Structure 1
Amino acid sequence: MKRRTLLKAAIGTIPALYLPGFLKADDFLYPSSSAGEIMQQGPFKPTWDSLSQFQVPDWFRDAKFGIWAHWGPQCQPEHGDWYARKMYLEGSETYKFHVQKYGHPSKFGFKDVINEWKADKWEPEALLELYKNAGAEYFFALANHHDNFDLYPNKYQPWNSTKFGPKKDLIGGWAKAAKNQGLKFGVSVHASHAWTWFESAQFVDKTGPFAGMPYDGNITKEDGAGKWWEGMDPQELYAQRHGLSTNENTTYSNIKIWEWQKGVSIPSKAYCDKFYNRTISLINKYEPDLVYFDDTVLPLWPISDAGLKIAAHLYNKSIKKHGKQNAVLFGKILDVQQRKCMVWDIERGQSNEIEPLPWQTDTCIGDWHYDRRIYDRNGYKSAKAVIQTLVDVVSKNGNLLLNIPLRGDGSIDEQEQAILQEITKWMAVNKSSIFGTRPWEILGEGPALENAQPLKAQGFNEGKGKPFTSADIRFATKEDMIYATVLGEINSEKVFIKTLALNSRHYSGKVKKVTLPGDTNAINFAHNAEGLIIDVPERLKGSYAAVFQIV
């Protein structure tokens, strides 16, 4: 019996079987269909060996900082992340909010939330100008989330923003604004997970007046007679005409649904093909410079080769357009080989060392989707925290992608504007210490390094270590310059950098001059066997992330 037949037989008896190391290029349960979108041919083939030709383009290595609009219909309630899933979890805080605001999810489901979303204050040109001023070199827009709703027109997903909600091509608007600001443009794609992520829409209340009444996750086109969505099939959105994963029998919201492992319902071939076609059409229409997948490794891996084909398509299409491979693809939880094929993305966390290959951390100043409660309690990350993270990440050969949550209407609030304005002021003086730099011999020194926290799953070690102090210093280099950034607030007369001691293990030279970015005036210093001791200019006292240029 052939291996593929064996695999299909195994999956026929177990809802899902994750077999790392077993699947070969021709062993996928669902090879992508040749019908629909055609993969761009070129030097990259949809195999790991071929994709390992990938080289991170210099523009991305130079860019260091991007801003993300993680914005879609789940922002409309302004009640935080994963709204479309959590609203169906009986007894959860989000469920209670939804019932009070909109009604019971058997009567008012997520499709109806989409219908409420109008994005009437969305001004992409003004937002992209704000982000460019804050130092961003690239911009990401959410193309779809786990809610399966596309923010661009395409023939493969009728549930999209040109037909429902805003009735606009949101990705098109973002792409035009990014181009006008001279920013590289990226799209984030999350929709491969809707099959399992939306399973909560199949639940029913176990208690109360609606006990036993199904939520709207299983409704069909026939149920729409006389309703606002008449003629549309909600299953094109929910994708829930299937059995529940065996670990989905409770309303527990953090079940293991990310990898296709034992107990997780396997999506159909039609579902996999639809995802492939939607994503290829997105790349063809907008030609993004960057594509982010919120997936373990690649979408639908390892049951489908869709992710491998999308990666090869993106790279080959970039070669056709630019004459060289100029695009960047991101994946999570990558092994050593896979990190050669794309850029490793770490969610809400950082590596603890200088990585041999460029990588990226993605994080947010609040929740991924806009949450009014965070605004009300002044709970956003400070500009100080963002800048410190950026400097720390850059010292380790990484980039920072920062989400600034948008309200449902497409605007940002005044607290977010203040954070961006403070980042803008810091960047106006210090951007030369970020953009175009490379890691130095070591990433830095100080007590925070001694308490670095390990990564967990796709990241999530952010904020787990000691707060930065003036003893925490990070290095970067450009040409013959060393940038030493003091992360914490400076409240002393001198800065002491022991790593740069005369004839130290990492530094054998003699410091000739110390200046500040944008200032040619020399700063007094002493350089001896103990370290480099720099006199602190009066204007830097009390400041954080102060940068010293050392030659």
Structure 2
Amino acid sequence: EWDRPSSDWKSEEFLAWLYNESPVRETVVVNDRWGSETRGRHGGIFTTEYGLVHSGEGLETTGNHPWEECRGIGTSFGFNRTENLDSYSSAEELIRILISTVAAGGNLLLDIGPAADGTIPVIMQQRLMEIGKWLGVNGEAIYDTRPYITDKSQESINPGVNKNIFFTKKGADLYVILLNWPEGDVIFRGIRAKPSAKASLLGSSGAVRMRNPGGSLTITLPRLTPDDYQLAYVIKISNL
């Protein structure tokens, strides 16, 4: 569907049947892969592939429409015996892709390419185990969350502006996801916390200090120990 129009695939005829006559017509959800002119324009879910819609093009409407990023752990969908170590994304890179995708309101579809005998290559197993380990501690900042997007006056905390900080929310809770351990306090202009709000660092028992002077939310994190080391860190602000 990358290069050929929807008319070549008879997409309109198929979709008319799918939504009007098929047994799943009331529940079916489709993506936008129906022809070269439909990507990012038509579909219940828009999709990117390795960050692109077409060659060199991203998806401009991710904030307003359900969307999903699909990619392999390596540079191929399926098993590719010509790939080498450099072809595979590291666990840190994959976790960062997961974080940035979810913070922008998307879903990550991560493809696994089994070998001919059906086994999952060890390097892919290792990547999945590392992602699972991180989610075991920080999954509440990913699952069931929504983007936290503010107005222009708070651009310093909007997704994509600071490349090392991302935000998600769930109910009254805000999750601040740090790709790097900060030097000194973490300060966000324009965020006001309720007096009852509390801050914690997921995966750590250390105390987190939070104050809100002059409309800027200031967070002081505990001292990082070797046992606290993670590929990304999550500050949870409860009852914001």
TM-score tier after normalising by the smaller chain length = 0.7 to 0.9
3-state DSSP of counterpart to 2:145: coil
**2 CA distance for matches of 1:426 and 1:538?**
17
Indicate conservation of the 8 Å contact 2:62/2:104, yes or no: yes
Per-residue deviation, residues 162-189 of structure 1 (Å, max 9, x unmatched): xxxxxxxxxxxxxxxxxxxxxxxxxxxx
Relative to structure 1, the CA distance from residue 427 to residue 417 in structure 2 (aligned partners, 3 Å threshold; closer, same or farther) is: same
> Which aligned pairs between 1:178-257 and structure 2 lie closer than 5 A?
none
Deviation at 1:490, TM superposition (A): 1.3
Per-residue deviation, residues 373-393 of structure 1 (Å, max 9, x unmatched): 32x334311111111111111
Question: 1:344 aligned to 41, 46, 49, which one?
Answer: 46
Range moving further from structure 2, 439-448 or 508-517: 439-448
Relative to structure 1, the CA distance from residue 430 to residue 308 in structure 2 (aligned partners, 3 Å threshold; closer, same or farther) is: same
Relative to structure 1, the CA distance from residue 336 to residue 429 in structure 2 (aligned partners, 3 Å threshold; closer, same or farther) is: closer
Q: Is 1:479 aligned to 2:171, yes or no?
A: yes
> Which aligned pairs between 1:24-43 and structure 2 lie closer than 5 A?
none
Structure with bigger gyration radius: 1
> Which aligned pairs between 1:10-25 and structure 2 lie closer than 5 A?
none
3-state DSSP of counterpart to 2:93: helix
Q: Is 1:524 aligned to 2:209, yes or no?
A: yes
**2 CA distance for matches of 1:542 and 1:534?**
17
**1 CA distance for matches of 2:61 and 2:11?**
33
- TM norm structure 1: 0.36
Q: Is 1:490 aligned to 2:177, yes or no?
A: no
> Which aligned pairs between 1:55-204 and structure 2 lie closer than 5 A?
none
Q: Is 1:318 aligned to 2:19, yes or no?
A: no
> Which aligned pairs between 1:325-336 and structure 2 lie closer than 5 A?
325-332=26-33, 334=38
Relative to structure 1, the CA distance from residue 352 to residue 337 in structure 2 (aligned partners, 3 Å threshold; closer, same or farther) is: closer
Per-residue deviation, residues 88-141 of structure 1 (Å, max 9, x unmatched): xxxxxxxxxxxxxxxxxxxxxxxxxxxxxxxxxxxxxxxxxxxxxxxxxxxxxx
Relative to structure 1, the CA distance from residue 313 to residue 430 in structure 2 (aligned partners, 3 Å threshold; closer, same or farther) is: farther
Relative to structure 1, the CA distance from residue 448 to residue 360 in structure 2 (aligned partners, 3 Å threshold; closer, same or farther) is: closer
Q: What percentage of residue pairs aligned between the two structures are identical?
A: 24
Question: 2:220 aligned to 519, 534, 539, which one?
Answer: 534
Indicate conservation of the 8 Å contact 2:50/2:71, yes or no: yes
Q: Is 1:449 aligned to 2:160, yes or no?
A: yes
Per-residue deviation, residues 339-362 of structure 1 (Å, max 9, x unmatched): xx4211111116467512211111
Q: RMSD over aligned Cα, in angstroms?
A: 3.4
Indicate conservation of the 8 Å contact 1:348/1:362, yes or no: yes
> Which aligned pairs between 1:390-469 and structure 2 lie closer than 5 A?
390-442=98-150, 445=156, 449=160
Indicate conservation of the 8 Å contact 1:311/1:329, yes or no: no
Indicate conservation of the 8 Å contact 2:18/2:24, yes or no: no
Aligned to 2:198: 513
Indicate conservation of the 8 Å contact 2:78/2:112, yes or no: no
> 1:400 is matched by which residue type in structure 2?
L
**2 CA distance for matches of 1:356 and 1:549?**
26
**2 CA distance for matches of 1:432 and 1:448?**
18
Aligned to 1:372: 81
Indicate conservation of the 8 Å contact 1:334/1:344, yes or no: no
Aligned to 1:359: 67
Indicate conservation of the 8 Å contact 1:525/1:533, yes or no: yes
> 2:199 is matched by which residue type in structure 1?
V
**1 CA distance for matches of 2:39 and 2:132?**
36
**1 CA distance for matches of 2:90 and 2:61?**
24
Relative to structure 1, the CA distance from residue 514 to residue 408 in structure 2 (aligned partners, 3 Å threshold; closer, same or farther) is: same
3-state DSSP of counterpart to 2:110: strand
Deviation at 1:441, TM superposition (A): 2.5
Indicate conservation of the 8 Å contact 1:491/1:542, yes or no: no
> Which aligned pairs between 1:293-304 and structure 2 lie closer than 5 A?
300=8
Gaps of 5+ in 1: 1-192, 194-256, 261-297, 320-324, 452-467
Deviation at 1:337, TM superposition (A): 6.4
Deviation at 1:515, TM superposition (A): 1.2
Relative to structure 1, the CA distance from residue 496 to residue 335 in structure 2 (aligned partners, 3 Å threshold; closer, same or farther) is: same
**2 CA distance for matches of 1:508 and 1:448?**
18
- TM norm structure 2: 0.76
Deviation at 1:448, TM superposition (A): 8.9
State the number of aligned residues. 222
**Which structure carries more strand by proportion?**
2
Gaps of 5+ in 2: 52-57
Deviation at 1:336, TM superposition (A): 7.7
